[in-house]
Amino acid sequence: MGIGRRVSAIQIASEVKNKTFWLATATSALLAGCASFSEDGGFDKVSDLTKERTGQAVAMQRTDSDRRAAQDRVAERLRQPLTADAAVEIALLNNRGLQAKFGEMGISEADFVRAGRLPNPVFSFGRLSGGGDVEIDRAVLFNVLGLLTMPVASELGQRRFEQAQYQAASDAVGLSADVRRAYFDAVSAQELVKYYKQVKETADVSNELAKRMLQAGNFSKLTQMREQAFHADATAQLARAQHQATADRERLTRLLGLSGEQVGFRLPERLPDLPKQPTEPGDAERIALEKRLDVLMARRNTEATARSLGLTKATRFVNVLEVGYQNKSETGRPRSNGYEIELELPLFDFGSTRAARAEATYMQAVHRTAEVAVNARSEVRESYSAYMTAYELARHYRDEVVPLRKRISEENLLRYNGMLIGVFELLADAREQVAGVTGYVQALRDFWVADTNLQTALTGGSPGASPLSRPSASESSSLSAGH
């Protein structure tokens, strides 16, 4: 029949002639044709939300030219040692998992556009023959209820599309936070290896000297074994540190989506310095409720559920309503024209079950939104506490522990030159000084991770566990065991 759009029940019922039917069909086609895809696929909003929270825009790579441009930018950033911001930019451009998640945007927009278009009509055809007679039945059915509820369904589809936009932005912001944490872990692990090598070198000298002193009869077996035990601990600690550096670097590599020659990227020699003053967010809890993406998504979900509840109530007693044009022709008789209406009668289910289910779903969404809001406020408070604690610890190491260790080392060197202490005491002090420096490196790493978690808790989503909740990887006590 070539018919692809719907008409309303009033239009069908008022006129059954062929000409009026086609006019109504054309009118519905015009209305349904208003729903169309956006030029940017709704991605401009995703990019704005991401840039507001990370400082970096994000783009969906649809064509080969988009991918080539992204690869050129990645290559340009890899020519220099990576900064945290450069690592985030590379990940947003090059992480294929993120681009795969962005595909949900296209699916959601397609559902949204479909919600604004009428379903295709149903065409039925029947042919009976016998005794020289042929009877043909033809009918085209249109879902009138779909036309009546299309504005509400379209609005519901739009809200779900907006929720998909927030989810895409949340994925990008979450990836950015993961990249920053992995970056600081990788840089600190690389830096720690350098200091553990110094400890190992000191242990090598001390162990060899202890063996010679034992052979010369100037050392007891117990004292020599203590030096040997420390050497064994230092060797194991260096091996663990080297593997941790490799593991942290590979994790960063995966998040950046790098492969081939790209995995040879360079990291800076040390972590960024501690800022002069810690960040003091004003009304942190209010900011979280206004800007956190998981809170915004929960609100949108509740609003969409509320709209869905209204739609269910409107169609509670009319489950299926289809109106269509029908004609019938028989051999030797003029064609018969008319219309057909199909209506599901609520004899056994009056819609109470669907209404109850919708109301329960809505209340479920309300309670989940409240839970997300309560958790967001709590996570902001916890993250800010971890941030301030990490800042104070890093400053304590920088201003107290490291300078004190340095002064002690200088004094011991003077005492050694004055032959007041021996070489073993000097070597033990060198190890203690390295332990203080490694403690500062780890405290500084914990601060930058806590800073990332605080920003995530304010504008992104749940930051996860605090870096201060896990034990220190330095195991400083093992470095000075027995000394």
Structure-block tokens of residue 460: 């992104």
Strand order in the sheet with 321-330: 122-130, 133-143, 321-330, 336-343
Domain residues for the domain of 455 are 275-316+351-483
Show Cβ contacts of residue 95 under 8 Å, excluding neighbours closer than 6 positions.
175, 255, 256, 257
Q: Is residue 200 part of a domain?
A: no
Q: Which of 98-102, 196-200, 353-357, 406-410 has the lowest mean pLDDT?
A: 353-357
Task: Check residue 3 and give its pLDDT.
Answer: 35
Q: Is residue 385 part of a domain?
A: yes
Q: Is residue 481 part of a domain?
A: yes
Q: Quote the percentage of the chain above a pLDDT of 90.
A: 32
Average pLDDT over residues 367-377: 90
Q: Which of 73-82, 157-166, 258-267, 446-455 has the lowest mean pLDDT?
A: 157-166
Assessment of whether the complete model's pTM goes beyond 0.85:
no
The answer on pLDDT for 172 being more than 90 is yes
What is the average pLDDT value for the chain, to the nearest integer? 79
Pick left, alpha or beta for residue 258 (phi over 0 → left; psi -120 to 50 → alpha; otherwise beta): beta
Q: Using an 8 Å Cβ cutoff, are 47 and 57 in contact?
A: yes
**Using 50, 70 and 90 to split pLDDT, how confident is the model at 312?**
low
The CA R_g of the chain, rounded to the nearest whole Å, is 36
Show Cβ contacts of residue 152 under 8 Å, excluding neighbours closer than 6 positions.
307, 310, 311, 314
Q: Is residue 338 part of a domain?
A: no
Average pLDDT over residues 334-352: 58
Q: Which of 36-45, 282-291, 472-481 has the lowest mean pLDDT?
A: 472-481
Q: Is residue 181 part of a domain?
A: no
Task: Check residue 369 and give its pLDDT.
Answer: 87
Q: Is residue 124 part of a domain?
A: no
Average pLDDT over residues 168-194: 94
Q: Is residue 115 part of a domain?
A: no
Side-chain half-sphere exposure of 72, counting CA atoms within 13 A: 6
Structure-block tokens of residue 468: 């201060």
The answer on pLDDT for 328 being more than 90 is no
Provide the greatest CA pair distance for the chain.
Answer: 130
Q: How many helices (H) and strands (E) does the chain have?
A: 15, 4
Average pLDDT over residues 139-144: 72
Q: Which of 22-31, 143-152, 212-221, 297-306 has the lowest mean pLDDT?
A: 22-31
Query: Looking at beta carbons, which pairs linking 252-256 to residues 24 or more positions away fall under 8 Å?
Result: 252/87, 252/179, 252/182, 252/183, 252/185, 252/186, 255/91, 255/95, 255/175, 255/178, 255/179, 255/182, 256/87, 256/90, 256/91, 256/94, 256/95, 256/179
The answer on pLDDT for 209 being more than 70 is yes
The answer on pLDDT for 246 being more than 60 is yes
**Using 50, 70 and 90 to split pLDDT, how confident is the model at 9?**
very low
Q: What is the CATH number of the domain that holds 293?
A: 1.20.1600.10
Q: Domain total for the chain?
A: 1
Q: Quote the percentage of the chain above a pLDDT of 70.
A: 77
**Looking at per-residue confidence, does 43 or 323 come out higher?**
43
Average pLDDT over residues 39-67: 86
Task: Check residue 7 and give its pLDDT.
Answer: 37
Show Cβ contacts of residue 105 under 8 Å, excluding neighbours closer than 6 positions.
41, 42, 43, 46, 60, 164, 165, 168
**Using 50, 70 and 90 to split pLDDT, how confident is the model at 479?**
very low
Report the C-alpha gap between 292 and 286 in whole angstroms.
Answer: 10
Report the C-alpha gap between 399 and 118 in whole angstroms.
Answer: 70
Average pLDDT over residues 61-72: 90
Q: Is residue 282 part of a domain?
A: yes
Q: Which of 78-92, 402-416, 468-482 has the lowest mean pLDDT?
A: 468-482
